Amino acid sequence: MEERKWLPADTRTRLIDLCKEKNISQAKLASVIGVDKSALSRFINGKTDSLSHEHVIKIAKYFNVSTDFLLG
């Protein structure tokens, strides 16, 4: 299995890329981390900068990546 190379990116870009790579919808991810899907959508679309530390940790665990990787 080939290891994917990741370019430097911000949290939003990382999240979008991870969802695409794993074929996970925003609604599914929102459900998994326990946040309203509209709140996650606002974060991904840059309308808000609020994503709690707890949600970042849950996202990292779900995708099996480090929080450092997720936070860019």
What pLDDT does residue 52 have?
87
pTM score, whole prediction: 0.81
Give how far Cα 10 sits from Cα of 2, 13, 31, 46, 52, Å: 23, 5, 22, 11, 16
With bands split at pLDDT 50, 70 and 90, how would you rate the model's confidence at 50? confident
Q: How many residues does the chain have?
A: 72
Give the model confidence (pLDDT) of 55-71 as tens digits.
999 999 999 999 988 88
When pLDDT is cut at 50, 70 and 90, the band that residue 3 belongs to is low
At 12-48, the pLDDT tens digits run 889 999 999 999 999 999 999 999 999 999 998 989 8
